[in-house]
Chains A and B, each alone.
Chain A
Amino acid sequence: MRYTSEDIVVVVIAGTLLFLLLAGFILAFLFLSEKRRRAHQRKLLEVEQTYQRELLQAQIEVQEQTLQHISQELHDNIGQILSLVKINLTQVDVREEEKAREKIGTTRSLVVKALEDLRSLSKTLNADYVLRSQLSEALRFELDYIRQVCGCETALTVTGIERVLTPQQQIVVFRIAQEALNNAVKYAAPRNIRVELAYGESSFRLQVKDDGTGFDTESATSSGVYEKGSGLANMKTRAAMIGAKYSLQSLPGLGTSVKVEL
């Protein structure tokens, strides 16, 4: 086959075009990949922000609940004790020394009790209380409160060696337990509430069980109880947020069980 100098021109043009094409390909690839990478990072950032927002919300809810407990405790317990103290002191008659001594002795015991209660309350006033204390300790406080408010029997069992979870896990697990306990007290009228914490070497399980009225989970789903923003939906979302497995089992008349596994 014979080639002419025109062929060379064609080949040179083709060569130039090929190089431009290759360079264009690389530039387009860079541009598109960078665009995709940025979109991906934006998405990750959004997920992170949602996570932080949910975490903050859980923390605020824990604090609100704690403050509510404290206000009730101050009103119902310490307030009552101090009223008794005031009545006792008013009744002290220095002329009747024996009776006065007895009254002062009783008053002193009441003041000591009030002080103890205040000390225990002051611990929970700190915003990081749940984060700093062990989960069992925070839950015990919660269960004590529930026993007083609802009059039901509560029990906490811990199996395995208790260890501190990450701050995020601790706050979310505690908030889920709090929500499950609240729901039990508000809607189920239970006689017994049992909380179990099970620590394995690399696993953790929280279970909140009550023997209250329970409910039909299927009809609850259709009636929108699990819709976004509701307590039940929040428990599920937050468990997923820390990578935990969440399950809720309930049957009318047979109570409810909420389980979170890490």
Chain B
Amino acid sequence: MFHFLNPIEYILYALFFFELTQKSFTKKFILTTIGILTLFSISNTLWLQPLAEDNSNAYLAGAAFMIVYSLLYFLELYQREDFFVPIVKMPDFWIVTGIFFLYAGSFFVMGFIKIISAIEPETAPKLYIINLFLNILLYALVFYGFRCATRVKT
């Protein structure tokens, strides 16, 4: 299931970042990485981690790109001078912060699980709960971002 869902998820996030950025370099970078990521996911499923296995390679590659997109967003936001709304009231900022925490955290958790599974194979799957917390954090920040959006509009 995740073999199909992950690429779609990444493409949607990438398009979200594509809409956010105003720099043509970043736009080109995102479009290129969408292609790379899709090709890598397909290749991974076909030759490295078949459907019966967990597609951790594709997940980690996507997570790495999400971290890079987030950092590019933060850099662009920092360089901007024309914003009049404080950053804490910007919906995009909170959503990107959520994505950044989720993928930076997931990246770490995946590696951590690999270590744990070598010591206590039965404990390792339980650690996926950390991902759940990271997801909760993401949704909370997305929710807060939406609240900011409605406040900014009114």
Question: Which A residues form the contact surface with B (CB < 8 A)?
Answer: 1-5, 7-8, 11, 14-15, 18-19, 22, 26, 29-30, 32-34, 36-37, 40-41
Most buried by B among A15, A30, A33, A36: A33
Which of B8-16, B53-61, B96-104 contacts the other chain?
B96-104
Please give the distance in Å from B78's CB to the nearest CB on chain A: 6
Excluding A8-B115, A36-B78, 9 further A-B contacts by CB distance (< 8 Å) are: A3-B118, A4-B119, A8-B116, A11-B112, A26-B97, A29-B87, A32-B78, A34-B87, A36-B81
Say yes or no: A15 contacts B115, CB within 8 Å.
no
Give the nearest-CB partner of B81 in chain A: A40
The 4 closest A-B pairs by CB, nearest first: A3-B118, A3-B119, A33-B87, A3-B115
Residue in A11, A14, A19, A29 whose beta carbon sits within 8 Å of that of B105 in the complex: A19
Say yes or no: A2 contacts B115, CB within 8 Å.
no
Q: Is B35 an interface residue (CB 8 A)?
A: no
* Interface members, chain B 31-86 (any A CB < 8 Å): 74, 77-78, 81, 83-84, 86
Say yes or no: B78 contacts A29, CB within 8 Å.
yes
Residue in B74, B104, B108 whose beta carbon sits within 8 Å of that of A29 in the complex: B74
Q: Is B5 an interface residue (CB 8 A)?
A: no
Say yes or no: B119 contacts A22, CB within 8 Å.
no
Please give the distance in Å from A136's CB to the nearest CB on chain B: 38
Q: Number of A-B pairs whose CB atoms are under 8 Å? A: 49
Residue in A15, A22, A29, A34 whose beta carbon sits within 8 Å of that of B101 in the complex: A22
Give the nearest-CB partner of A23 in chain B: B101
A22 to B70, CA, bound (A): 12
Secondary structure dominating the interface of B: helix
Give the nearest-CB partner of B75 in chain A: A29
A-B contact list, 28 entries, CB within 8 Å: A3-B118, A3-B119, A7-B115, A7-B119, A8-B116, A8-B119, A11-B115, A14-B108, A15-B109, A15-B112, A18-B105, A18-B108, A22-B100, A22-B104, A29-B78, A29-B87, A30-B88, A32-B78, A33-B77, A33-B87, A34-B86, A34-B88, A36-B81, A37-B83, A37-B84, A37-B86, A37-B87, A41-B84
Tier of interface size on chain B? 20 to 34
Give the nearest-CB partner of B114 in chain A: A3
* Interface members, chain B 92-141 (any A CB < 8 Å): 97, 100-101, 104-105, 108-109, 112, 115-116, 118-119
Please give the distance in Å from B132's CB to the nearest CB on chain A: 15
Say yes or no: B115 contacts A30, CB within 8 Å.
no
A33 to B97, CA, bound (A): 14
A40 to B83, CA, bound (A): 9
Please give the distance in Å from A30's CB to the nearest CB on chain B: 6
A residues near B84, Cβ cutoff 8 Å: 37, 41
Give the nearest-CB partner of B130 in chain A: A15
A residues near B109, Cβ cutoff 8 Å: 15
A residues near B116, Cβ cutoff 8 Å: 3, 8
A159 to B144, CA, bound (A): 57
Say yes or no: B88 contacts A5, CB within 8 Å.
no
A residues near B77, Cβ cutoff 8 Å: 33
A residues near B108, Cβ cutoff 8 Å: 14-15, 18
A11 to B113, CA, bound (A): 10
A4 to B116, CA, bound (A): 9
A residues near B100, Cβ cutoff 8 Å: 22, 26
A242 to B88, CA, bound (A): 34
A5 to B77, CA, bound (A): 42
Say yes or no: A30 contacts B87, CB within 8 Å.
yes
A residues near B87, Cβ cutoff 8 Å: 29-30, 33-34, 37
Please give the distance in Å from A101's CB to the nearest CB on chain B: 76
